[in-house]
Chains A and B, each alone.
Chain A
Amino acid sequence: MKRRIPSAPQWAALFLAALLTSSLFAELLVGSLPVAISVAGRIHVLPEITAPSLLGNANSPLIADADWVVWPLLRTVSSFDTRLEGFRALLQWWLHATRYALLATALIALVSSVIGTALGWLAAFGPRLVDVALRRAIEVTGALPSLVLVGVARVSGAVPTGLDVVLVLIVLRSFEAAQLVRALVIPAGEGDFVVAARAVGGSGLHILRWHLLPHLVRPLASLASTTLAAVIALEAALALVGLGVPAAQSSWGTLLIASANQRLLGATPIALLSVVATTLALTVLARQLQRDRWVQRHHL
């Protein structure tokens, strides 16, 4: 029997799934604190997250007096070793950084796509004022480097560290997506199929959902596929300037700069490879949408 070799998009999906799963369960894989502990008949699952003040650190007397303890697969000495010494410390850092990168990317891509689509739709078919305002906003936000905006947000302390990158990128990417959507739906909205749908009584929402949205999926996915690289580039730049995230909130960008500063030649390829491989995987998946049946069915 001939064994079927997975295609590039399948490999990409598998890779991303593996990354996401391992990073989501980082506390089970590697850490200094128990995964579960029973103290005086009371069970605490993931006490590091659910009850941070209970144990404090790995030397807590409660651990010695516990009824039973379930440890992670790999135990580390301290909660976060910023010197990145040894495989376990590096793995722990990498898993947390991966979780932050993937979740931040997903959040930015999703929220900016939704906001961008709504704004682009409004600019194309709504009042002229919205269109003018959107174009001015794009001009202004497009002229300001995201690094400066995130830097200001970070030194102001108004937004929790880490979330500032997400918020700034959501705003900037929303405008980019809106510009893209506006440019795509204006010609598409004049197509025969839209005119026909309108003639038979299709509402604006119906036309957007069934006739225009399929045209937007690929460009928006393509835009989203570069989000991860943008997040990491920003984090690395902030770390270089001295405004990086604290050790407890690790990111690939910070890891790259920390490894350069500490001459940790082993950590750099890991972080760099993670960024490049994940961006490639996301791009491959985005390009796969070109051949996706759902898109093809509606791509007239």
Chain B
Amino acid sequence: MNATSLREALQRVLGLIPTLFLVSLAAFWVLSRALPAVRSEAPAQGRLPLFFNPSPVGVGQRAEALADAIASGRAGSGERAELVRLGAASLPSLMPHLDSLLPQQRAKVALALGPVALRMGIADAEEIATPEMAAAFWNRYWTDHFIDFRPRVVERAVARLIERPSALRRVELRRLDTFALPALMESLEITADPEAQRELLALAAQITGRPWEAELSPTSGLEHERQECLSWWSRESRTWSSFQGSRRLVAMLQETQYGKWVLGGVWRPLGNLADDWQLTPTLALIAAGILGGYFAGPLLAAWTATAIAGRSVALALSLILASVPAAAAADWLTLGGLNQRFLALLAMLVLGAGLLCLYQYRATRDACSYDFVQTHLAFGASPVRAALGALRSSSLVSAAHLANHGPGLFAAACVVEWAFDWRGLGWLTLRAVQQHDVASLTWIALFGVLLSGLLQIMSDLLQSRFEHRGRSA
């Protein structure tokens, strides 16, 4: 393998990047259209545009709309709960907006904000018991504390908490409520200190009411909760974001279903199904399939070379193997009393043989006609030995077919995993189809294209290597 081949291979690997991007767009579009009923993402995400959001709505606009609804008496408990969920992040926009409302309307909105004040720990229930009292409280609070609601203040408070955690610093951040979430999450993403991560998670859990602090004692639990929290934030961050200036331009792409899928995938590529599977079964099964295919071919060729009607027998055998449906073979093998893993691998050996052996057989037959193989036979070598001697030459064709058979082998692995309930990537794929999981299916499609592209490059490299050796021989 020379430098030119490697350079070409590298160029082709780089060429895969735009292909993967286009495939992700196409797959996401097709799958979102084909599977509209159930989505794995949060319900709010379903309302987002697919690829481009010309007017992303920030927390301020959302809070103002909710305040108007509450003020006019049109709002139900859902709207009030949503305003509480938005929390203090809405105050910088909401408080000036309250001035435009009539006193009675302002009082209604202030009363609806009561649970936020309790969560922040800035008021007792008695202080905000009536609409008038609540209005007076919020007016006073905002006059005294509006200066605290600046990103720089929050960043400093988070940095102080990470540096030296204390009850006072926790209270300081708790009083900023959801306004502190972006800074908390940013720090959680970059900090490697477990103690700081624990503090940040606990605070985020307190503010949002999410159960991230449930399993914080072991280190593995902490990392899991951190991943969960960041994954949740990547999906939900728009709820507490205000899109202004350059952030608005970014939000036009980010605040879309596709944008959410990309961001969500960074933390948790396969969504809710991520914990239920392993890659090992799929790799083991595909390896068994390749083994079955590439070894059955030379053996079949060697055996049929000595038979009277060798060619027809080989063709019939390989056709019979190829025409047996993978699902039926796997399903019937599950009834066997032997070890289920062994039976699954056996099923893949047989299916791989059916899929690949005809190519390997034909290549071996051709290779057997070469002079050096004929010489071996003339000197008394057995057909099996001759076929194995020609394996390097015959593998040329098989190597060229390696990429073409990847999806076939993966499909066979899917059904075998499903039949034997061996939870690999194939099982996960079929599960995602059943659950209409657009996000997982798009990642799987990308994985398939990437794998196929890499296999193609690898088979070309192998081909050039074999050809080189053939010439040397």
Contact = CB atoms under 8 A, between A and B. Distances in A.
Interface of A: 136, 139-140, 142-148, 151-153, 155-156, 158, 226, 228-229, 232-233, 235-237, 239-243, 253, 256-257, 260-261, 263, 268, 271-272, 275-276, 279-280, 283
A186 to B, nearest CB: 17
A139 B410 CA distance: 16
A144 B444 CA distance: 9
Contact of A283 (B319, B325, B429, B451): B319
Given A143-B406, A155-B433, 12 more contacts: A140-B19, A140-B23, A144-B445, A146-B407, A148-B411, A148-B414, A155-B436, A156-B34, A232-B323, A233-B325, A236-B331, A237-B411
Interface string B137-163: 000000000000000000000000000
Contacts of A142: 404, 407, 452
B444 A275 contact: no
Interface in B311-331: 315-316, 319-320, 322-328, 330-331
A123 B302 CA distance: 40
Contacts of B325: 229, 232-233, 235-237, 253, 256, 275
B433 A148 contact: yes
Nearest to A268: B332
A126 to B, nearest CB: 22
A104 to B, nearest CB: 14
B331 A147 contact: no
Nearest to A153: B34
A254 to B, nearest CB: 10
A257 B322 contact: no
Given A146-B411, A275-B324, A139 B332 contact: no
Contacts of B324: 272, 275-276
Nearest to A144: B448
A152 B453 contact: no
B35 A236 contact: no
* 3 nearest A-B residue pairs (beta carbon): A143-B452, A145-B411, A236-B325
Contacts of A139: 19, 449, 452-453, 456
A261 B448 CA distance: 31
B35 A152 contact: yes
Interface string B307-351: 000000001100110111111101110010000000000000000
B415 A147 contact: yes
A236 B327 contact: yes
Q: How many of chain B's residues touch chain A, expressed as a range?
A: 35 or more
A144 B326 CA distance: 17
Question: Which of A139, A143, A147, A237 lies at the interface centre, i.e. has the most chain B CB atoms within 10 A of its CB?
Answer: A143
A140 B323 contact: no
A131 to B, nearest CB: 16
A142 B407 CA distance: 7
Nearest to B31: A152
A138 to B, nearest CB: 10
Q: Classify the secondary structure of B's interface with A.
A: helix
B419 interface: yes
A147 B325 CA distance: 12
Nearest to B409: A145
A195 to B, nearest CB: 30
Contacts of B19: 136, 139-140
Question: Which of B26, B323, B410, B452 lies at the interface centre, i.e. has the most chain A CB atoms within 10 A of its CB?
Answer: B323
B2 interface: no
Nearest to A256: B328
Given A155-B434, A253-B325, A145 B452 contact: no
B452 A151 contact: no
A283 B315 CA distance: 10
Contacts of B418: 240-241
Nearest to A238: B327
Contacts of B330: 240
A139 B18 CA distance: 13
Given A276-B320, A279-B319, A253 B433 contact: no
B327 A257 contact: yes
Given A148-B444, A260-B335, A240 B323 contact: no
A233 B433 contact: no
A241 B404 contact: no
B263 interface: no
B323 A253 contact: no
Contacts of B23: 140
B357 to A, nearest CB: 14
Contacts of B335: 260, 263
19 contacts: A136-B19, A143-B445, A143-B449, A143-B451, A145-B414, A147-B415, A148-B414, A148-B444, A152-B31, A229-B325, A233-B325, A235-B325, A237-B325, A241-B418, A241-B430, A243-B433, A263-B335, A268-B332, A276-B320
B116 interface: no
Nearest to B23: A140
Contacts of A226: 322-323
A261 to B, nearest CB: 8
Contacts of B410: 145
Interface in B169-193: none
A232 B418 CA distance: 18
B34 A152 contact: yes
Nearest to B413: A145
A153 B30 CA distance: 10
B441 interface: yes
A283 B444 CA distance: 34
Contact of B407 (A145, A232, A256): A145
A215 to B, nearest CB: 19
A256 B331 CA distance: 9
A103 to B, nearest CB: 18
Contacts of B326: 233, 236-237
Interface string B396-414: 0000000010111011001
Contacts of A155: 35, 433-434, 436
